[in-house]
C-alpha cells in the first residue's frame, strides 16, 4: 500500500497515457475494419487516381476495357528496309509438270519424268536433300484445275531429285498435273 501512495501521477503523465491509449486503439480499429472485397468502385475513386504504375502487369484484360479503348490506333510509318542477305542464301526451285510427265514450266528444273501410274520424278540443277518441298495437284495450263492429292519425297539414289505421287479423290494412283516448289 505504501508503494502505491509513493507513486504520485502527475497530470501530464495521465494525459500522455490517455493519448497513447486512444492512438493505439484507433490504429487497431483501422486494422480490424479492413475494406470488404469489391467495396470500392468508380463512385468512390477520384478521377485519374488509378494509373498504370498502380496496376500490376497482366491484371487488366481486354474485356476490362471500355469498347472505345479496344480500337487499334493509327498505323505507324513503315520502317526502313533491312539489310540484304548474302547472295545465294535461299534458292527457290519450282516446276509445273503435266500429267504426262513433261515440264510445262519451271525454274532450276533440268528434267521430269513419268515413272508409272501417278508416279513422277523431277530433277533439279542442285542438291535438294536438305530443302523444304511442297507439291499440289493443279492444272498446268489455264484450266480450272484437277482434283486429287499429291505427296512429295526425296528421290532415292539422286540427291537432285524429287519423287511426286498423285492420286484421285478416291485415293487411287492417277496421272495428274502438279506444281512443285522446293526452297533451299
pLDDT at 12 over 90: no
pLDDT of 50 = 76
Residue pLDDT, tens place only, 35-75: 677 777 777 777 877 777 777 887 877 777 777 777 777 88
Please report whether residue 121 resides in a domain.
yes
Residue of 164, 150, 159 whose CA lies nearest to 184: 159
Q: 162 in a domain, yes or no?
A: yes
pLDDT at 31 > cutoff 60: no
DSSP state of 31: H
Residue in this structure with the C-alpha cell 507513486, named with its chain if needed: 7
Q: How much is the mean pLDDT over the chain?
A: 82
Quick one: pLDDT at residue 34? 64
Residue 6 placed within a domain: no
Reply yes or no on whether the pLDDT at 165 is more than 70: yes
| 37 part of a folded domain | no
Answer whether residue 65 is part of any domain. no
- The answer to whether the CB of 177 falls within 8 A of the CB of 98 is yes
Strand, helix or coil at 170?
coil
Whole-number pLDDT of residue 22: 67
pTM for the full predicted model: 0.52
For residue 13, being part of any structural domain is answered with no
State the DSSP string of 63-121. Answer: GGS-GGGSS--PPPPPPPPPPPPPTTSS-EEEEEE-TTS-EEEEESEEEEEEEETTEEE
Q: What is the pLDDT of residue 73?
A: 78
Q: What is the domain extent for residue 110? A: 92-183
Straight-line distance from the first to the last Cα atom of the chain, in angstroms, rounded to the nearest whole number: 104
- Number of structural domains in the chain: 1
For the segment 87-91, the average pLDDT, to the nearest whole number, is 70
Highest averaged pLDDT of the listed ranges 21-25, 70-74, 101-105:
101-105
Q: In the sheet that 132-137 helps form, which strands lie side by side, from edge to edge?
A: 103-107, 92-97, 178-183, 132-137
Residue 85 domain flag: no
Beta carbons of 91 and 108 less than 8 angstroms apart: yes
Amino acid at each position: 500500500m505504501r508503494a502505491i501512495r509513493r507513486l504520485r501521477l502527475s497530470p501530464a503523465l495521465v494525459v500522455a497515457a490517455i493519448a497513447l491509449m486512444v492512438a493505439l486503439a484507433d490504429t487497431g480499429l483501422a486494422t480490424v475494419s479492413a475494406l470488404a472485397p469489391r467495396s470500392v468502385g468508380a463512385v468512390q475513386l477520384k478521377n485519374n487516381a488509378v494509373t498504370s504504375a498502380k496496376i500490376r502487369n497482366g491484371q487488366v484484360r481486354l474485356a476490362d476495357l471500355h469498347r472505345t479503348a479496344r480500337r487499334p490506333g493509327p498505323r505507324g510509318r513503315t520502317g526502313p528496309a533491312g539489310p540484304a542477305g548474302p547472295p545465294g542464301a535461299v534458292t527457290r526451285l519450282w516446276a509445273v509438270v503435266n500429267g504426262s510427265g513433261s515440264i510445262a514450266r519451271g525454274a532450276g528444273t533440268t528434267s521430269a519424268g513419268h515413272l508409272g501410274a501417278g508416279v513422277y520424278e523431277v530433277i533439279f540443277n542442285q542438291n535438294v536433300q536438305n530443302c523444304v518441298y511442297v507439291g499440289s495437284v493443279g492444272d498446268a495450263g489455264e484450266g480450272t484445275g484437277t482434283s486429287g492429292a499429291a505427296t512429295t519425297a526425296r528421290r532415292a539414289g539422286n540427291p537432285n531429285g524429287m519423287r511426286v505421287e498423285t492420286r484421285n479423290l478416291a485415293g487411287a494412283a492417277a496421272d495428274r498435273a502438279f506444281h512443285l516448289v522446293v526452297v533451299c
